[in-house]
Each structure stands twice: as structure tokens, then as C-alpha cells.
Structure 1
Amino acid sequence: MAEPMRQMHLNCFMFGLGHHEAAWRYKGVDPTQLSDIRYYHRLAQMAERAKFDSIFFADGLAGGKGYVNFFEPLTLMSSLAGVTKHIGLIGTVSTTYTEPYNLARYFASLDHISKGRVGWNIVTTGHAAAALNFNRDAHMEHTERYERAGEFLDVTTALWDSWEDGALVYDKAAGVMTDAARIREINHVGKWFKVKGPLTIPRVPQGHPVLVQAGSSEDGRAFAAKYAEVIYTMQTEIGEARQFYQDMQTRLVAAGRSPGQLKILPGIAVIIGETEEEAKEKEWRLNELSSLQNGLRRLSTLLGRDMSQYPLDGPLPELPDASEVNNQQTIYKVYVDLARRENLTIRQLIHRTAAGRGDLTVVGTPLQIADQLEKWFVTRACDGFNIMPPYFPGGLEDFIQHVIPELQRRGLFRTEYTGSTLREHLGLPRPVNRFAAVSSN
């Protein structure tokens, strides 16, 4: 029997009013919606009708003076779980500025509330200013953050396994609610954490919430090979994306896992027009609405140097290698490589990254965009995409109304949900409970 056609996975990256930094000024965008939960309900339901695998919410732990993103992801996801039935809900929480026990409880609660539709986007926090909001004087070094994150994952997943399936028995006649033999302390003692357990919440529908990771540094790749089930990655060139894809498959096997246990979704900002000229006009209008001051602030934060002291129409100054910086190494490298490769001025770099903040930006007709997505997908540069509309709701509506039907016509994307959990949407296995596996031997 012929193997079913491989289908791409699509995640919608929900980010405030849109991914372009001037989204809030664009025609048809109402900035006052940001504090209205009904706005997020409408966007989530729109993405669900289009059969997206999931929606994703980023987070930051240090306040800026420019763009506003608003709600904390887990609080928001709890509300969205009540107004959706199928779509996955993925939220960001830092391993550097929280504790495993708290986080395990948050996501276990959400997975039960959503009936198995939750994922955790694992970050170590790249912005050094976050330290000043958490009773610290300095940000932890990059390698140490990943070391802590590894132990954090070991503890968190053990806590999710501290209840076996079937531990809740509800035997009214015997007066027994739980089978105590199926609930275990984890008794973890390590360099960073000391946690007894068990968790206060029974095992979740998915076994574990889906583990998502964003980061392509050496530390990030090693971490992903061991723990991640989805990677949000940043590549702007297809050859580079294929190399990353192959590298991760090799690392996955070396870590004792199979390629099907990891889905790679590069971020793509899409600006769509009925004609290529119309799409380019949209991009131009959005860039014209951008604030150069905000763009310089964004660039300065990412590169760790005040860019306002250099000529706007000149090149980037000499900068250290990405491995030497203590902020977000992946984004840093993407920005510097893009500027060097295309000989961009500082002004041009600001405009080129205004829509995707370093992710690939595709500008064109629905057919041109579908062609690009198909090329990346069928040549194994990815397993799908993290879609980043330039503005909401219009940019998402354009993608849903014009690109998704073309992908469906080509047999590349689902027309209906066939599962009920996020793991089922992604084709990921339900994790075996490590303690149950030991006790059954």
C-alpha cells in the first residue's frame, strides 16, 4: 500500500496586532483591541476554522518602551481553551526565571482544561535586562542557562510522570479515590534544583504537554536534540534551512530518538497581494509607517550596541562573533549574516527585518507564496511553518482565504482535523511514563 502523502504543519504565531512593527498604524487595525480578550478569541477561532495545528504566544520578561504585546501567555491560553475545541495552544515560559514545580503545575492544569491541546515553548531568556526584574544583578551566561534548562526539563517531565495513567480510581464502595502505588515522589537532587514531588495534578491527556524550543545556537541544537518535539527556527535561505534540518536529524538519532519525534517549523512573515505589485506596495506602506527610532532601538537591543551612533545609510560596524554574546545568539547571527550577505545598510536592515524580526519575509501573490512554502517543504528544509502575519486580523485573513486553499488543493495541508490533541495534530507519540515502565519490568 502506498505511503500517505506527507503533509505540512502550520502554526499561527499570534503577536499583538501583527508581526510588522508598524502593524498598529496600518489601515483597518484597531490598537485598542489589545486589551480586549474577545479580540484573541476571534483570532483563535479564525485559525481553528482554517485547521491550523496550533497558535503560539511569545513572551518577554523585560518591558520595552516601543511595541506592546500585552497579555501573559498562560493566562491568555486558559481563556482561549474555553472558546476553541481542536486547535493547539502553545505558550512561552522561561526556564531561567521560574521553578520546575510551578511550571509543571501550570501546564498540567492547562492540558487538562484544554483536553490535551497544550504545548510549552521552552526559552532560556535572551534579554539580559530580565535579570533586573527577578532579584538578580546580572543575567546568567548562555551556556549556564542551557545547563539549567536541561535539568529543569528532567525535573518537569519527571513531575508529569509522577502520576501514572489510572492512578485515579474513584472507588466509592471501597472509599478509595487514588491508587497510591501509582503516585510517586521523584526525589530529584541536582546542581540547580531539589524537588521531592509528586505533582499535585494527575497525569495529563497528552502524557506530557508538547515540548517546543526556539534557538539554533550550538547549545540550542544540543538541547533540542535531547528534549524538543517542535523547533521554531530562523532561516532566511533554503540551503541553510536544509543543512539545519539534516543536522537536527543526525543529532536526533545520536540522542537515541527517531526523526519523526521532532518537527521543524521555520518562521515566515507573509505579505500577500492579488498581484506581486500589490504585495510589494503593502510592504512599502508598512515600512513607511515604521519608526526609525524604534527600529534603531530594536537593532541596538539585539546587537548589544547603540546603532544610533552610526550612519543610517552605512554598513553595520564590526561586531563580535555570535558565540561571544550573552543575548539571543540565534537572532544576532541571523541579523549580522543577512546584513553581510546582502551588503545592507543599517536603514535597509531595519526595513528588511521589520515584518519578521529576522525570520524569512515572503512578499507576493497567494500562488507565489504557496510555491515557496511547497519548495521548502518537499525538499526537506522543514516540516511546516510558523506563520507570522504582518497585521491582524487582515493579514491572517489573507493567508487563510487565499494561501491555505491552494495548499489544500495541492494535497499539502489538511482539510479537517483527524485528531483531538496537539500531539495527534503533529503526529507525535504520547510519552511513556518512565516510572510505570520501571515498575512493569
Structure 2
Amino acid sequence: MRLGAFLYPTGYHVAAWRHPGVPADAGVNFAHYAELARTAERGTLDFLFLPDSSAMRGADLPELSRAAIRYVAQFEPLTLLGALAAVTERIGLTATVSSTYNEPYHTARKIASLDHISGGRAGWNLVTSQNPYEAYNFGLPEHPEHAARYRRAHEFAEVVKGLWDTWSDDAWVRDKDSGRFFDPERIRPLDHRGEHFSVRGPLNVPRGPQGHPVTLQAGSSEAGRELAAATADVVFTAQHDKDDVRAFTEDVRARAGKYGRDPSSVLVMAGVFPFVGRTRAEAEEKRERLQDLIDPEVGLALLQSELGHADLSGCDLDGPLPELPPSDSGRSRGDLLARMAADDGLSIRQLYKRVAGSRGHRQVVGTAESVADELTDWYESGVVDGFVVMPPSLPDGLADFVDLVVPELRRRGLFRTAYEGRTLRDHLGLHRPVR
């Protein structure tokens, strides 16, 4: 079973920052992140994952002032991962990089550098920007339209991976006696010219320990699945139904085959939002304590954001979710939540309370044994290769999973007791591309 840790600074629950056990300055507290990284490494998890946005998610300052998960105060993730590489030894280090507001040369260079610094533990989550407020920070009145963003993302990934291959693994002679630093026969400028980018290359960083750092992708829309199938080693998905995740996995792998890839080489990991206790009652008390801390204004604003920045003003909060117009922001999550509301008969208020926690991901509440039972069912059914764990609050939520659930998975022979390799590709069982 593959396991990653998804780290919003204070935890995945919208009200986590108000919990007395959570440092309120978590987003800019390096000691806090170092503790989380060491906890995850103690649990032999495959990787840490840091989400990111290049803008605060929202413009309502009174509402933003009452939330801590809207990218209002947190480190730039690749910089943070470079620091975490120095205080860890084995765990993978991954973060989101937007193809919409970055350049492929800079991205290839930064991630290759992180791969060297960490000894082969780097990965990147390739996304297209969904937060409309990012556009304003890059001189645009709005995002490029959805299809154009995804065309750019495909080309972005092609250029990044091409740059990582501009040097052969054995190009670096560094022979002091002969005076030759590298072999010029083992360099291949990229000379890419496409719709969005013109990049000559080569990259001025040697090929990394992994050849290609691990590529992750989390799109579930039609365009997102196509991008994942073409580019990703690991695909995240938000699903709460076993049949839905099975269909998603089969679909993405079938698409990967169309790109000439081995479908079995594409790992699918589902998000899971766990409340773990030594008893069921303790786990439920942990959940209710956070639910009681939800600010209604923040909960509603978060729901509107997750629905593609829908406008629910004037709606009866105790009435059903209205039919929403199409959005040019992230589409798959909004569709998922609308289906959830319809299937479960949720009012807007009930939906925002649920969204404030799992945001469409699978929520599990119980003892280590019952949580492990649920993860085991999906894993042994073959519908996923593992899970991205989204602790409700940090640091305690991650420690609960590592100290209670991981030993139970180990007891069942489903998870490693020690790291067997050095690189993130080793942990995930992925081959190293040769150049």
C-alpha cells in the first residue's frame, strides 16, 4: 500500500487552526513542518505533499481574516521542501507547481535541484491554476480558458521532462588531470518550439538521481484525466464511493495506454480524511470538536470556492443546493459535491459542514482497526494503489495515523516496516528513466 501525507499547515479541516493543539502560525513555522516531516518519516510514509496557490483564495477580507487554509500565510513550497530535505533522510518531498503561472525552464531547474539536494526524493504535482485571483498577480484580468490551460499543461510537462533529459547520466567527467569537466557528446539541447513555449536548453543542472523526479497529477475532469494519463506517475483522486474510484482508475489507466504507456505503471491514490481514536467514541469526539469550531461565514465561502466560485448569496442555507452554471475554474470537484448533495439530500448548511472537513474526499472515523479495515477493503479490491492521508488537524492528526493506523497496516502485512530504497521512485516501485 502506498501512503502519502497531505499537509495544509494547520490540517485539512477548515477550522483546524482554532484547535488549541494546533500552532496558529503553522504556515510560517518551520519547526512545525520539521516535526510533521519527521513524524511522517517515522511512519515510513512514501511522501509529503504540499499544496499551493500563487494568491489568497478569495477577495472578501472579513471572511479571509477568519480562515487559515486559503493560502493567506504560508511558505513557498519548493523553498520549504529544500529545507525539509536537510532534516529528513528517506521520505519523498512533493509540492504543487502550476503550469499556468510558471515557466517550464525555471520549474525543471528547481525540481532537479531539489532532487539532487534530497538524494532523489523530489516530486511535483502538475496542475493548472483554478484560483481566479492568481490571474491578477500575473497581469491578467482572468485565467486563460479551461481548454487552453490544459493544452499549456501538456506542453509544459513535455518541456520540463525534455529538459531533464538534455544531459546523459554519464555526461559529467569532471577529470581534473585532463581538464575536461563534461563530455560534449553527451549533451542534447532541447530546441523546443511549440504553441506556448520556445525553449532551447540544455538545463544547467545535471540529470538528477531519479532521472525524472516523480510527477503527480490530481485532475478528475475530462481534460484532467487526459493530462494525468499522458504525464503522471501518481494520480490523486477525491472519491467517496468504491465503484466510482474503480471506474476512475480503469479510465485513467486505459487512457495511459493510448499514450504508449504501461497502464499498470500509473499509480492511483485516493484522498482519505481520517479521525482516529483508541475508541470509536474518541474518534467521533475529535470530529465533533472541529465541526463545532466552523465559522458559518468561512464554511459557506469555502463551499462556494469548491463549487467553482459559485455565488450562493441569497440562498436559503437550510434549503437544497440550486442548479449551478458551468464554471471555468476546477470542474470535477464542483460536480462531485453537487452529486454528493443530491445523493445524500444535504442542505447547503449540511454540505458546507461536510465540505469544511473532507471537501469531497473519503472520510473515515473510528479506531485504528476500523480505519485500517476501510483502507484494506479498497486496496485489496484493487481499486487504488494507496491513499493520500489528509489529517484533520496538525500535528496530532498525523501522529494519530502514524502511531495507531500504520502499525495495524504493518501487522496485516500491507505496509512496510522500514524503507527499502533511497529515492521516491524506489518507495513507489517506479522505474528510473534512463538517458
Which runs of structure 1 show a deviation greater than 4 angstroms over 4 or more consecutive aligned residues? none
Query: Within the alignment, does 1:221 sit opposite 2:240 as a pair?
Result: no
- What is the correspondence of 1:26-37 to structure 2 with a 5 Å cutoff? 26-37=19-30
- Percent of residue pairs identical: 47
Q: TM-score, length-normalised on structure 1?
A: 0.94
Query: Within the alignment, does 1:305 sit opposite 2:310 as a pair?
Result: yes
1:296–1:308: 8 Å Cα contact kept in structure 2?
no
Equivalent position to 1:132, from 116, 131, 136: 136
Unpaired segments ≥5 residues, structure 2:
58-63
Cα deviation for residue 39 of structure 1 reads 1.0
Cα deviation for residue 259 of structure 1 reads 2.7
Cα deviation for residue 127 of structure 1 reads 1.4
Equivalent position to 2:396, from 394, 399, 415: 394
Cα deviation for residue 277 of structure 1 reads 2.3
CA deviations 1:272-316 (Å, max 9, x no partner) are 122222222221121110111001111122323222321111110
Match in the other structure for 1:255: 259
1:302–1:327: 8 Å Cα contact kept in structure 2?
no
Query: Within the alignment, does 1:67 sit opposite 2:68 as a pair?
Result: yes
- Give the whole-Å Cα distance in 2 for the aligned partners of 1:379 and 1:35: 40
2:299–2:352: 8 Å Cα contact kept in structure 1?
yes
Give aligned pairs, total: 423
Equivalent position to 1:21, from 10, 14, 19: 14
Cα deviation for residue 404 of structure 1 reads 0.5
- Give the whole-Å Cα distance in 1 for the aligned partners of 2:280 and 2:288: 12
Cα deviation for residue 400 of structure 1 reads 1.0
1:339–1:349: 8 Å Cα contact kept in structure 2?
yes
Aligned residue type for 1:329? R
Aligned residue type for 1:332? G
Query: Within the alignment, does 1:175 sit opposite 2:182 as a pair?
Result: no
CA deviations 1:389-415 (Å, max 9, x no partner) are 111111111111111100000000000
- Give the whole-Å Cα distance in 2 for the aligned partners of 1:127 and 1:175: 51
Q: 350-359 vs 191-200, which deviates more?
A: 350-359
CA deviations 1:134-182 (Å, max 9, x no partner) are 1111211111111011111111111100011111001111110100111
Query: Within the alignment, does 1:420 sit opposite 2:426 as a pair?
Result: no
Query: Within the alignment, does 1:377 sit opposite 2:370 as a pair?
Result: no
Query: Residues 217 and 33 of structure 1: is their aligned pair in 2 closer, same or farther, counting only changes over 3 Å?
Result: closer
* 3-state SS of 2:177 partner: coil
Match in the other structure for 1:194: 198
- Give the whole-Å Cα distance in 2 for the aligned partners of 1:404 and 1:302: 30
Aligned residue type for 2:99? T
- Give the whole-Å Cα distance in 2 for the aligned partners of 1:102 and 1:154: 14
2:17–2:23: 8 Å Cα contact kept in structure 1?
yes
Cα deviation for residue 31 of structure 1 reads 1.1
- Give the whole-Å Cα distance in 2 for the aligned partners of 1:300 and 1:218: 22
Unpaired segments ≥5 residues, structure 1:
1-7, 434-441
Equivalent position to 1:336, from 333, 338, 347: 338
CA deviations 1:241-293 (Å, max 9, x no partner) are 11111112222222211133211111110011222222222211211101110
Query: Residues 188 and 212 of structure 1: is their aligned pair in 2 closer, same or farther, counting only changes over 3 Å?
Result: same
Aligned residue type for 1:153? A
Equivalent position to 1:266, from 270, 278, 287: 270
- Give the whole-Å Cα distance in 2 for the aligned partners of 1:126 and 1:354: 19
Equivalent position to 1:289, from 284, 288, 293: 293
2:253–2:264: 8 Å Cα contact kept in structure 1?
no
- Give the whole-Å Cα distance in 2 for the aligned partners of 1:150 and 1:342: 36
* 3-state SS of 1:31 partner: coil
- Give the whole-Å Cα distance in 1 for the aligned partners of 2:24 and 2:131: 26
Cα deviation for residue 350 of structure 1 reads 1.0
Aligned residue type for 2:163? L
Aligned residue type for 2:171? A
Equivalent position to 2:115, from 111, 115, 124: 111
Cα deviation for residue 93 of structure 1 reads 0.7
| Cα RMSD for the two superposed structures | 1.1
Equivalent position to 2:148, from 144, 154, 177: 144
